[in-house]
DNA sequence: AGGTAATTTCAGAAATAACTGAAATGCGAG
DNA sequence: CTCGCATTTCAGTTATTTCTGAAATTACCT
């Protein structure tokens, strides 16, 4: 590892954090390295810097590609593959969110809808049905919101986020102008 | 497992999904069961329904308590512990988000700030520094937004989410009233 | 075609994480 | 304090995931 202590600490930290997510340590470290790096890196360079086996790096890069988190680049007269993280941080965030949604939320939504089709077979199924239905509605609200936000340009999105809860005043106003069919009704404990 | 097929499918699905998160299969299944259940359940009942060992259930419940995802209840003249998931789905979502933030984001923020303190030791550290700084800023924006949203009552929050990107119009307006550093005027429309 | 460098695959090894039963601890009632 | 039940802890086992080196594949060059 010929990394400065700054780089090394960053890389190790994201290795750790990665393993708290579904992502494994190796993949986290590779991504952290690519994120910091000024230029694209090839697999051999990653092996040198991180000390993993060549095949492990290959698998890690494959996984990052499956997540759409890296860009493949080429350098003239060099047939090795070079990889880089997108320069735009927001693009990374968008991709992360979109991919997690695809892997974790969408299949759940499908399953919930499927379960809602089933006829309740007993008393407690009736209750279960209604919980499932509430959950589906909530997820739909959230994913709908995500799709909305995703359509915005980054600048506008940042603007909205920065305003934060200040928006609630406008929301109240908007309600009176363009009344909205209300989404899920909440159960109180 | 004396569960209806509806309940069983739901529980198994969340076991699977749980393992894509940091949460393990057992914990996911226990939570799914509590979520569906009309009444609080004690550990022995969970053992019967899911077929895990008593100690595994105990550990799972402990973990759910550490995540603040379950409520401990008691029934008169019964000294066993009964557990339930909050009835209010939004409370569950808020808890999930808050706990993940606490475990995954906050330590990262601390680490990033710490790394920003270090003096760059070479050329590439200068570049690394600026990437780290960008990342820190972005995370601060997002967590700040999260804190804002968290302060809102559920009804308001749902309202805002339902409006989605429609809010951008109001954001532009808000800009003119309470000008914000970040927002160049060419973004208004 | 043959040669070579880059990358991928994959079976087994190593490392982690999950799960269990048995023993220990906690806790209220008598 | 002792008994009896509920819960937790923990050492050992089992299951899962990650990682490796060797072999296979791909792609490009002459």
The CA–C1' separation of A49 and D21, in angstroms, is 20
Element (H, E) at A145: helix A123-151
Instruction: Return the nearest residue to C18, CA–C1'.
Output: B24
Helix B5-20 × helix A123-151 angle, to 10°:
40
Averaged pLDDT for residues B36-42: 96
Averaged pLDDT for residues B51-80: 95
CB < 7 Å to strand D — which of 98-127 in chain B? Answer: none
Q: Give the long-range contacts of residues A171-180, CB within 8 A, separation 24 or more.
A: A171/B156, A171/B159, A171/B160, A171/B163, A171/B167, A171/B170, A172/B159, A173/B170, A174/B163, A174/B166, A174/B167, A174/B170, A175/B159, A178/B166, A180/B159, A180/B162, A180/B163
Task: Tell me the C-alpha distance between B116 and B80, whole Å.
Answer: 51
Chain mean pLDDT for chain B = 89
pLDDT beyond 50 at B188: no
Q: What pLDDT does B179 receive?
A: 52
Q: What is the pLDDT along chain A (189 residues), one digit of tens a residue?
A: 589 999 999 999 999 998 888 889 999 999 999 999 999 999 999 999 999 999 999 999 999 999 999 999 999 999 999 999 999 999 999 999 999 999 999 999 999 999 999 999 898 999 999 999 999 999 999 999 999 999 999 999 998 999 877 777 776 666 565 555 545 444 443
Averaged pLDDT for residues B162-184: 64
Q: What pLDDT does A35 receive?
A: 97
Chain C positions with a protein C-beta closer than 7 Å: 5-10, 17-22, 28
pLDDT band at B165 (very low <50, low <70, confident <90, very high): confident
Q: What pLDDT does B167 receive?
A: 75
Q: What pLDDT does B55 receive?
A: 97
- Which of A2, A3, A4, A151 is most worth mutating to test chain B (most B CB atoms within 10 A of its CB)? A4
Q: Rg for chain A (alpha carbons), in Å?
A: 22
Q: What pLDDT does B173 receive?
A: 64
DSSP line for B26-61: HHHHHHHHHHH-SS-EEHHHHHHHH---HHHHHHHH
Task: Tell me the C-alpha distance between B49 and B9, whole Å.
Answer: 13
Q: What pLDDT does B186 receive?
A: 46
Averaged pLDDT for residues B64-76: 95
pLDDT tens string B79-101:
999 999 999 999 999 999 999 99
Q: What pLDDT does B123 receive?
A: 87
CB environment A164-176: b (16+ within 10 A), e (fewer): bbebbebbeebee
- Residue with structure tokens 């492990």? A56
Q: Between chain A and chain B, how many beta carbons pairs sit less than 8 Å apart? A: 206
Answer yes or no: is B59 CB < 7 A from strand D. yes
Task: Tell me the C-alpha distance between A27 and A31, whole Å.
Answer: 6
Chain-centroid distance of CA B98 in Å reads 5
Q: What pLDDT does B108 receive?
A: 96
Contact A141 B161 (CB under 8 A): yes
Q: What pLDDT does B169 receive?
A: 73
A61: which 2 tokens? 């890069």
Q: What pLDDT does B168 receive?
A: 77
The CA–C1' separation of B53 and C25, in angstroms, is 19
A168: which 2 tokens? 């609630």
pTM over 0.85: yes
Residues in A closer than 8 angstroms to B17, CB to CB, are 104, 107-108
Q: Which of B93, B111, B159 sits opposite A13 (nearest CB)?
A: B111
Residue with more model confidence, B164 or A70: A70
Q: What pLDDT does A164 receive?
A: 79
Q: Which of B108, B141, B158 sits opposite A13 (nearest CB)?
A: B108
């Amino acid at each position: 590892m010929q990394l400065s202590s700054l780089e090394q600490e960053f890389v190790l930290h994201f290795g750790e954090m990665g393993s708290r997510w579904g992502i494994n340590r190796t993949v986290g470290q590779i991504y952290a390295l690519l994120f910091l790096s000024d230029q694209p890196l090839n697999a051999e360079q990653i092996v040198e810097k991180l000390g993993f086996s060549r095949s492990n790096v290959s698998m890690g890069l494959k996984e990052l590609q499956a997540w759409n988190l890296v860009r493949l680049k080429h350098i003239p007269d060099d047939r090795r593959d070079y990889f880089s993280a997108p320069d735009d941080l927001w693009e990374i965030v968008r991709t992360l969110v979109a991919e997690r949604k695809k892997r974790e939320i969408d299949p759940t939504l499908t399953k919930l809808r499927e379960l809602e089709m089933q006829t309740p077979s007993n008393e407690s199924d009736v209750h279960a049905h209604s919980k499932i239905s509430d959950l589906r509605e909530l997820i739909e609200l959230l994913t709908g919101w995500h799709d909305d936000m995703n359509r915005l340009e980054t600048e506008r999105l940042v603007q909205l986020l920065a305003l934060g809860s200040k928006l609630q005043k406008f929301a109240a106003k908007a309600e009176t102008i363009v009344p909205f069919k209300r989404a899920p009704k909440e159960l109180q404990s």
